[in-house]
Amino acid sequence: MEIHTETSKKLFQEAQQYLVGGVASSLHKAEHEEYPIYASHGKGSRIWDVDGNEYIDYMGSFGPSLLGFSHTELNKAVCEQIERGTHFALPTESVNQLSKRLVEIIPCAEVVGYQSSGTEANLVNFRLARAFTGKSKIIKFEGHYHGWADELSISVKPLSLKSMGPRNKPWKCLESAGQLESSSDEIIVLPWNDIEILEKTIKRHKHEIAAVITEPVMYNAEPIKPLPGYLEAMRQLTKDNDILLIFDEVITGFRVALGGAQELYGVTPDLVTFAKAFAGGYPIAGVAGSREILQSGVHPAGTFNANPLCVAAAIATLDIIGRPGTYENMQRITDRIKDGVNFLASRYRVNLWCDSQVSIWQLSFGIDGPMREYRDNFKVDKKTYLDFYKRCLDRGVRLHSGRGRFYISTAHTDKDVDKTLQVFEDVFKEMFNNHA
């Protein structure tokens, strides 16, 4: 079975004449793809491409589309703001309303600040940590993504175990041409989910370390949850040594709970970064923490910070996801996917790991249990996954083109799950030549 995507191919050929790489973001086309699928429109849990093919979408625009596509109430709020104006370079009452709501929702928030992307917000948090503590070094973990800026993009996606160096003292891996080697000078890289290595490092460098930054759940690569007690121990270690703890909740924020992973796990950081799902697909990001830390003399400017259009989208999104039963229903949907995939894996004798966490789910071939750290990522059978991805796409189910992390939205239904599991079964039969 093969879908026809000739128009997408033609559009990509045209784009390459005027647009660097042919795409506006390097994430829009996987390295293995000859050309990307071009979208025409979306509604609910579905996307249609320019050739008229329909897909159940599990990409969620890389996370932001928590309400699905073209949500009626979100559209209404945004259109009403368009009529009033989209940008004034002045405060609006709506910013007050949004800020008050965020302080009520986010456990660590006494005050908030705004940016336009997760990268910018994490740069602000780095600066805040240094201003508040008077120290310069930041601990970050292998495989965790905090943005594309030079100092943030260290050891995000090492290409091999060999390139990562010894586990107890990892090498710092740069991610891009043109990235300054000196950008890693104040960064300490450690393996995740290992409290002993973290404790030893803090003991050795505590007078230099301003902050530890972590994804509370490692969702940038193949998903990895924190080991029991790990986040709690990290919180205590940083507190005892006058080091700030930063949660990068660009992915987990508003997706695993209304108050993010800090609500879900009951661990409160000093600072948090949030973006993506925050406004249901509109570009807004922010930081939150104590008044004392955020008033450390850091004054980040930004032409589009908290612009009225995105603020209206954020308020509408929080209103919708704050309704009773929203997160319980998303967990029910991803549990159905998880249980269905695991049943099929057993039935067709496929070695894989499938798990779920509220609005996010995972499918990784070649392993039969949860991973502990980024280095375990090299155990995953990426070749089998790529084959699986292509076959599912041809049948109208759109997954991530490079890794087994997927999102649902409030718009996904049981019918979507039924069709998805049927497609998965058809693909398993075709790939593994097994019979129930």
257 shares its domain with 114 = yes
Q: Is residue 240 part of a domain?
A: yes
First to last CA, the chain: 22
Q: Is residue 96 part of a domain?
A: yes
Domain of residue 141: give its range.
72-321
**Contact at 8 Å (CB) between 405 and 356?**
no
Distance of CA 228 to the CA centre of its chain: 21
Catalytic residue among 137, 276, 348, 385, which? 276
Region for 260 from its dihedrals, namely left if φ exceeds 0, alpha if ψ lies in -120 to 50, beta otherwise: left
- The one-letter amino acid code at 148 reads W
Active site residue 248: yes
CA 214/CA 231 separation, integer angstroms? 9
224 shares its domain with 146 = yes
18 shares its domain with 96 = no
208 shares its domain with 292 = yes
Q: Is residue 39 part of a domain?
A: yes
**Residue written as tokens 């336009």?**
116
Q: Is residue 197 part of a domain?
A: yes
307 shares its domain with 342 = no
Q: Is residue 98 part of a domain?
A: yes
377 shares its domain with 396 = yes
Residues 6 or more apart from 12 whose CB is under 8 A from it? 22, 29, 35, 36, 38
* Sheet of strand 397-398, all strands in order from the earlier edge strand to the far edge: 39-43, 46-49, 54-57, 397-398
Query: What per-residue confidence (pLDDT) applies to 32?
Result: 86
CA 132/CA 294 separation, integer angstroms? 8
33 shares its domain with 154 = no
Nearest in space to 245 (alpha carbons), one of 144, 125, 150, 373: 125
Query: What per-residue confidence (pLDDT) applies to 434?
Result: 60
43 shares its domain with 81 = no
253 shares its domain with 112 = yes
**Contact at 8 Å (CB) between 432 and 350?**
yes
Question: What does the pLDDT profile of the chain (436 residues) look like in tens digits?
Answer: 678 999 999 999 999 999 999 999 888 888 888 999 999 999 999 999 999 999 999 999 999 999 999 999 999 999 999 999 999 999 999 999 999 999 999 999 999 999 999 999 999 999 999 999 999 999 999 999 999 999 999 999 998 999 999 999 999 999 999 999 999 999 999 999 999 999 999 999 999 999 999 999 999 888 999 999 999 999 999 999 999 999 999 999 999 999 999 999 999 999 999 999 999 999 999 999 999 999 999 988 899 999 999 999 999 999 999 999 999 999 999 999 999 999 999 999 999 999 999 999 999 999 999 999 999 999 999 999 999 999 999 999 999 998 899 999 999 999 999 999 999 999 999 999 765 5
Q: What is the DSSP code string of 367-413? A: -SS---SGGGGGGS-HHHHHHHHHHHHHTTEE--SSSSEEE--TT--
Query: What per-residue confidence (pLDDT) applies to 25?
Result: 87
**Contact at 8 Å (CB) between 257 and 327?**
yes
Catalytic residue among 55, 58, 114, 145, which? 145
Q: Which of 302, 321, 340 is the last residue of a domain?
A: 321
Q: Provide the CATH number for the domain around residue 157.
A: 3.40.640.10
Active site residue 10: no
Q: Which of 271, 294, 321 is the last residue of a domain?
A: 321
Q: Is residue 1 part of a domain?
A: no
Q: Provide the CATH number for the domain around residue 62.
A: 3.90.1150.10
Q: Is residue 236 part of a domain?
A: yes
50 shares its domain with 126 = no
316 shares its domain with 419 = no
DSSP assignment letter at 279: G
* Structural domains counted in the chain: 2
Catalytic residue among 248, 270, 376, 416, which? 248
Query: What per-residue confidence (pLDDT) applies to 221?
Result: 83
Structure tokens at 417: 């799950």
309 shares its domain with 242 = yes
Sign of CA dihedral 108, 114, 120, 124: negative
Active site residue 145: yes
